Amino acid sequence: SFILFGLFLVVAPTIARQGFSLLIYSSPSRLNTFGTEQIRYVSLAHAVIGGIMVGWGAALLLITRELVAKGNRLGWQLLAISLGSWFIPDTTYSLLSGYWQNAVLNLVFLSIFAVPLWAIHKHFYSNV
């Protein structure tokens, strides 16, 4: 789902822009009032973020299949550190800049990953 969301940001810029406009401004058309150059930049930012999400999602998938599934603790650590390395700065900036809505969205994404990650924690750290 993470990879698909990233692809969505790249291939459906208008719908993605409307979705974030609704999330931030409670109006799907608010971003469209920013002007052509600004709209193009927002679409570029969404596409770049989407591309990063696709790449990160592919890496997470490979780590899960090749390390975590085989009981390698390094896989669990890589997943945990990458989630924390994304969540903390992204959410902190979102809150400090007044975009709490993005922080809420971050919590949704974090829970998608953190709940199963925590559920398998004992498997990797029961002997520590």
> What is the model's pLDDT at position 2?
87
Last residue of a domain, one of 51, 66, 81: 66
Longest dimension (CA), the chain: 58
* Domain housing 60: 1-66
Same domain membership, residue 113 and residue 58 = no
d(CA 111, CA 121): 15
> What is the model's pLDDT at position 22?
96
> What is the model's pLDDT at position 128?
59
Same domain membership, residue 62 and residue 13 = yes
> What is the model's pLDDT at position 127?
72
> What is the model's pLDDT at position 48?
98
pLDDT digits (tens, 9 = 90+) for 74-113: 999 999 999 999 999 999 999 999 999 999 999 999 999 9
> What is the model's pLDDT at position 118?
94
Whole-prediction pTM value? Answer: 0.86
CA 104 and chain centroid, separation: 12
CA distances from 86 to 19, 70, 71 (A): 21, 25, 24
Same domain membership, residue 96 and residue 50 = no
Same domain membership, residue 55 and residue 13 = yes
Last residue of a domain, one of 27, 51, 66: 66
Same domain membership, residue 88 and residue 29 = no
pLDDT digits (tens, 9 = 90+) for 12-70: 999 999 999 999 999 999 999 999 999 999 999 999 999 999 999 999 999 999 999 99
